[in-house]
Amino acid sequence: MPNRVDLQHKELIKKILTEGVEKIDRTGVGTKSIFGHQMRFLMGEGFPMVSIRRIHMKSTIHEMLWFLGAYDQGKYSSFGNTNIRYLLDHDVTFWSDWPYKKYMESRKYRPELPEFNMNEFQAKIVLDDDFAREFGSIGPGYGKQWLSYGSRIEKKQKPGSYPIVFETIIHPGINQIETIIDQLKKDPDSRRIILDAWKVDELEEMLLPPCFLSGVKVFTSKGYKNIEDIKVGEKVFTHLGNFKEVNKIFKTPYKGKILNIRPRYVSHEFGCTPNHPFLVKDKGWVNAENIGINDKLCIKINKSSIIPELKIRSGVNQYKDFKIKDIKLDNMDDWYIMGYFLGDGWINHINPKKGQIFFAINEEQEEKIVAKISKRMSLYKDKKHIGKVHRFECRNKKWYEILKEFGRFSHGKIIPNWVQDAPIEYINVFLDGYQDSDGSIVKRNKSKVFLTTSNDISFGIQRLFAKIGRVSSHVFQNRKETTEIMGREVNQKSTYNISLNNRPHKSRFNFDEEYLYVGISKIEEVQVENYVYNLSVDDDNSYTVNNICTHNCHMMFQMYSFRMNEEDRLHSYSSWINDNKLVFGRPMEEYNFPERKLSMQLYIRSQDVGLGQPFNIAEYALLLHMIAQIVHMIPHELIINIGDAHIYNNHIEAMQKIIKRDSYDQPKIWLNPEIKNICDFRFDDIKIIGYRAHSNIPMDVAV
């Protein structure tokens, strides 16, 4: 059987070398990079290890045991599973660069610390327990987040104490590995068996913290919401044009650098941590700190062309149940009415049984607008008017149910997503209606302008214009809550000014079939001490803020199990009997053979393909096998989704040599079947059998 691990690894290397874009990264080394790649490995084909370069599996196994805390607790508990002491005791050195770098930086303000080379530093960690505790930690990395997510130590005043006495309260956090194992045993079909390796409460200590300040507007299936108000289970709009569920919310205190980025044509700037990735024209996902003033950010264009069919309530009666009717909005006049209502219409939401709808119509346009609306409903002119603006009323329960979808009050109006999904010809008529209500024409250049107090309308109109191939400019004007008019104090709202210029600066934007690309007018660096927020999103791993596509940037994996059918179970049983050299013909029940298979899907935000990927494949395949044994399932498939897949410039020569090598067969893995608790695994309980590989090629770590 061909070694599909080598095959997929080679294909990715070739793709990066031929199609990758040049990027300057946080390390300063530089990379060739592509965005978005998936690899799949079936465990039934053998244990997935590359053979075109040798993987030091001893290091891989010890690293996994380190993450899991599967070691002699009596000896290592005082160091913990984020301290390299355990690794160095077992001659594993590839995590040493980060603590060593921190140690050398500490000497800048602690001159009494001796200068060590790397070998001397590692020897000091091994021989000096106190030194190891102070300088051996990598920070709250994956191991800590797996086993004690949210753990912290709190100093709190003891109640009633005088003089004041502080007591130490230890919050142990969540063991995500044990939680996953418990879920697989009790609810194996759950879709929320997820582990997240980013602990945003500790962003200041972690290597790569990604987040936003509060107030950025996230586009959801129910309109735009502040990021701090998003809840788990809500659906957000992704860079691929899908609505996907939020599976985790992250909020943390943060002190440090924030980049305020102001895209052109967008009403608000947003503040984010320097390494939050955004989708950038011609470059893919780029961290904020690497975005330049000449780059263009992406607004996803809605590609749907669906004539909406709504289910509305009719027959409203206190003695009868509501009747549900299907309404297809395929009449162009309906779209003009909805567009006009968005700007100058409202409903009587206090008494919905009346089905009252109101329109405000300027007498200069009265004949035209009344004629259009009257094609679909009967209007009655009200005696109430303000100056030249008259109020018209209609009582129509069908239309009431349709128009209430647009929200209420001028600042609370929204554009339903079924409008965004409509065919372009319907959207053009909708925008004509909105133009006649909230719009005007600038005589000087014939450009169209609109005024609204709703941020949902502002962002939604921008997306509608993008869909028809137009770019609209949006400016937010922050107004005082009250103002004086003719001696009276009246309330007022902040406004959004929307303009559609007939001759926009084409150097500031571009279109293709998928995105509107907008330039950047300002990037400003500030220091803040505030809460920051992020979302973890199913599948697409992205969402939009202020209409701009951004990545959710978290390292996570998800478990998926399924019950085998009779044929699949029999085939798996036969393979298992053969691998373990057992007697054929005995029933599966005699060996307590598993009934389910287990897969793992891993998302990696940023992947060092040259140095890190071969280890990641083997390591997570090992974790899949270990968990599968503990929950009594058959390991089935490892799926790896990579965000930024890159090769460092100083690795390119080695990669060109590696892809020319031939492959060997995949090895097999043996786990001690007596192990029933994942923390009880030790190095001798894991064996890789039949591994053959070419010699390794040394490559430097970029830190």
Catalytic residues: 211
Which backbone phi and psi does 548 adopt, to 5 degrees? -90, 135
CA atoms of 594 and 628, how far apart (whole Å): 10
Find, among 597, 591, 538, 554, the residue nearest to 572 by Cα: 597
Which amino acid is residue 37, in one-letter code? Answer: H
* Bridge partners of residue 357, in order along the sequence: 347, 394
Taking the CA atoms of 399, 405, 406 and 408 in sequence, report the sign of the dihedral they define. positive
Q: Which residue has the tokens 């602690």?
A: 110
**Nearest-angstrom CA–CA distance, 262 and 249:** 25
Q: Which residues contact 90 (CB under 8 A, 6 or more apart)?
A: 58, 62, 683
Give long-range contacts, CB 8 A cutoff, 24+ apart: 669-673.
669/47, 669/621, 669/622, 669/625, 671/625, 671/626, 671/629, 673/629
CA dist., res. 86 & res. 74, Å (int):
12
Nearest CA to 426 out of 332, 339, 341 is that of 332
Residue 56, helix vs strand vs coil? coil
**Locus of tokens 């021989």:** 127
Cα–Cα distance for residue pair 493/490, rounded to 1 Å? 10
Handedness of CA 425, 426, 428, 433 (dihedral sign): positive
Structure tokens, 235 = 């659906």
Residue from 538, 685, 552 nearest 194 by CA: 538
Three-class secondary structure of residue 119 per DSSP: helix
Per-position DSSP letters for 199-215, written without gaps between them: -GGGTTTSS----EETT
Per DSSP, 137 falls in state B
**Residue in this structure with the two tokens 């998926």, named with its chain if needed:** 560
In angstroms, the CA 403 to CA 311 distance is: 13
Contact 589, 573 (CB under 8 A): no
User: What residues have CB less than 8 Å from 554, skipping those under 6 apart?
Assistant: 196, 197, 198, 210, 248, 250, 534, 536, 541, 603, 605
Contact between residue 270 and residue 546 where contact means Cβ atoms under 8 Å apart = yes
Longest dimension (CA), the chain: 98
What is the C-alpha to C-alpha distance for residues 446 and 461, in angstroms, rounded to an integer? 19
Cα–chain center distance at 539: 9
Closest CA to 257 of 288, 216, 279, 215: 288
What H or E segment, with its residue span, contains residue 654? helix 652-658
Please state, in angstroms and rounded to a whole number, the distance separating the CA atoms of residues 279 and 463. Answer: 17
- SS3 state at 606: strand
